[in-house]
Amino acid sequence: MSARTDKPSAEPTGGRSAPRTKERAIQRYELYLHALGREDIGTVCEVAGPAAKKAQDQGFGPCTSTYATVFGMISPAQKKALQTATVDRQGVAVRTPDRIEMPVEAVRASVAFSESDLGDCTMEYLENDWYITD
């Protein structure tokens, strides 16, 4: 049996605290990447909500309209690759127990992503789970 099937779900925890672990942060980031590839605006905005709120405060539109634009900038081959992308645990940097950096180089997919395609992400533990904040 594959280790992937034994992992706990990266879905929201329904009010319970999610583990404050590197593994959980990676699960949430992979959930975001897969949702980005599927154009699943609900999941993308749930995981990236804090970062989207910062962008909105800086003059960008709300998450749903901002990511609708982002979806249009991702090629069909990249979208397909994102749906099964994984994150190399070794490439992830734990800055503090509540802050983890996900560099674009740690994303493993069937096509390569550059800084301009995907960019690095900061995950922070907020309100009992991991979210993209930058």
The alpha carbon torsion through 54, 55, 59, 64 (nearest 10 deg) reads: -120
At 16, is the pLDDT very low, low, confident or very high (cuts 50, 70, 90)? Answer: confident
Per-residue model confidence (pLDDT) at position 15: 64
pTM: 0.88
Q: Per residue in 31-61, pLDDT tens?
A: 999 999 999 999 999 999 999 999 999 999 9
- Looking only at the bridges linking them, the beta strands covering 129-132 and 86-87 are unpaired
Give the span between the Cα atoms of 99 and 78, in whole angstroms: 27
Give the DSSP letter of residue 89: G
Q: What is the residue extent of each domain of the chain?
A: 19-132
The C-alpha atoms of residue 5 and residue 92 are separated, in whole angstroms, by 22
